[in-house]
Amino acid sequence: METINSVRGFRDILPPETDKWQRVEKTAHEVFRSFGFREIRIPVLEKTELFRRGIGESTDIVEKEMYTFTDRGEESLTLRPEATASVIRAYIEHSLHASETVTKLYTIGPMFRRERPQKGRYRQFHQIDTEILGPDDPRTDAELILMLTHFLRKLGLENLALEINSLGCPNCRPAFQKAIVSFLRGREKELCPDCQRRLNTNPLRIFDCKVESCQTVIADAPRLPEYLCGDCRKHFETLQESLGLFSLPFTLNPKMVRGLDYYTRTTFEITTEFLGAQNAVVGGGRYDHLVRDLGGPDIPGIGFAIGFERLIAMMPEADDALPPLLFIAAMGEAALKKAFHICNSLRMKGLAVEMDYAGRSLKSQMKRADKLRCRYALIVGDREIEENRASLRNMRTGEQQEARLDMLEETIIQLER
Ligand code: ATP
Ligand code: MG
């Protein structure tokens, strides 16, 4: 019969890779908790309007990349392409702002974008997403970036480049946009068709264009930081000062605008040489008007999203899989029955124990114990059952000892220590 394969750009994550995923998740829970974050779980499906309004009509994500469909002819729905809009939707819907002045949330899960699949770029990918709602103090921005780099270091990631920028606010950004438009006047033809359109709809997006000729045109364009108002300048300076306190190296990248329209002031990215063209591992920034734009109160926020797949690809190889403690090799009917009972009882005590029910030869059972890299093997036959004993073999040293069956649990628990 013909086989059915997964959908293009959607992939299975198999063991042992899943061991790495678990290690990342565990580290995230631990690190984020000490910085005061709580987990939120949100649906993968939202009303399309949420992303249109949240991310912005003229962004690549909304224009080209969303999985949008009409649900039974009733309502336009979209598989979430990112998490921030959904988290803010939930924050407003459940009035989380009413019960606390600072809300720190994180969520881990799949996102969906219809892009051209390639290494490090999938149509279903995963993000680790954090958001701080409430404060607009630049130390909050520094705290978030600090937590991020601490998290990445804990996972063994070095040689990461942190780039920061400030996108200003509604007071100072229009002047910059005007400067960009006048800088590009007369050079429209050198821009790609998308950017020619962006010039009228969303000039900032040109900085984010991946077409090389557009990058050449924009290379000498005015720089955003030169246009920051006093407040934004002060905010940006305090952020840099605060990062400096922790000797956190960063570079200023005045051309980094990020691909989503909701950003204001601080934006940042972490990139690595390691991933080639798909080099961005983390993107984040401040969004002081998103809550209001989504119908909530006027509350500022900041967050980041880590690309889970790209993070995993960069992580050093480590043996995460803890091999089973014990393999029980049983020979004979009575031994099999007894071993089945012991094996599953030990498992319920939290010990990793394996056995084989097929009644294969001792040799082939020991081969499987080896293959599973079990630390010990317990060998029992029908006669041993009668005599209340079994052989316990240390699989590394080959040493063998007698063990009493009625004392087995205690003996095995001792081994684990
Ligand atoms: P890129 O410039 O690579 O398209 P982006 O700016 O669109 O990235 P963001 O929206 O900032 O990405 O998402 C944050 C992170 O999510 C990225 O830095 C990246 O690690 C990851 N990411 C984004 N799109 C994909 C994808 N299609 N497949 C895998 N990871 C992705
Ligand atoms: Mg993208």
86-130 pLDDT, tens digit per residue, is: 999 999 999 999 999 999 999 999 999 999 999 999 999 999 999
Using CA positions, which residue lies closest to atom 11 of ligand 1? 283
Q: Which atom of ligand 1 is nearest to the CA of 306?
A: 15
Burial bucket for residue 365 (CB in 10 Å: 0-12, 13-18, 19+)? buried
Residue 67: closest CA among 24, 28, 122? 122
| DSSP class of 322 | P
pLDDT digits (tens, 9 = 90+) for 263-305: 999 999 999 887 777 789 999 999 999 999 999 999 999 999 9
Nearest to 29 by CA among 107, 85, 103: 107
Ligand 1 atom, smallest distance to 281 CA = 20
Do 262 and 54 form a contact (C-beta atoms < 8 A)? yes
* pLDDT, tens digit (0-9, with 9 covering 90-100), for 176-227: 999 999 999 889 899 999 899 988 888 888 988 888 999 999 988 998 888 9
- Which ligand 1 atom is the nearest neighbour of the CA of 280? 18
Q: CA–CA separation, 53 vs 231, rounded Å?
A: 27
* Range 378-390 average pLDDT: 95
Residue type, 129: D
Nearest to 359 by CA among 335, 375, 343: 335
What is the pLDDT at residue 65?
97
CA dist., res. 107 & res. 109, Å (int):
7
Q: Which domains does the chain have, with CATH numbers?
A: 17-172+228-314 (3.30.930.10), 326-412 (3.40.50.800)
Cα of 84 vs centre of ligand 2, distance in Å, is 15
141 lines ligand 1 (CB under 6 A): no
Residue with tokens 């990215």: 269
Residue 388: closest CA among 408, 363, 368: 408
Give the span between the Cα atoms of 206 and 213, in whole angstroms: 11
Nearest-CA residue for ligand 1 atom 2 is 280
Q: What secondary structure letter does DSSP report for 115?
A: -
Ligand 1 pocket, residue 282 CB under 6 Å: yes
What percent of the chain stands above pLDDT 70?
A: 100
What angle do helix axes 48-55 and 84-93 make, rounded to 10 degrees?
110
Instruction: Among 278, 279, 306, say which to mutate for ligand 1: greatest number of ligand atoms within 8 Å of CB.
Output: 278
Q: Which residue's alpha carbon is at the smallest distance from atom 25 of ligand 1?
A: 121
Cα 177 from Cα 204, distance rounded (Å):
7
Distance 209 CA to ligand 2 centre (A): 10
Q: How many CB atoms lie within 10 A of CB 131?
A: 25
CA distance 116 to 242: 39
Cα of 155 to ligand 2 centre, how many Å?
A: 24
Whether 160 is in the pocket of ligand 1, judged by its Cβ within 6 Å, is no
Question: What mean pLDDT, rounded, does the chain reach?
Answer: 94
| Gap between the Cα atoms of 166 and 265, Å rounded | 4
pTM metric for this prediction? 0.92
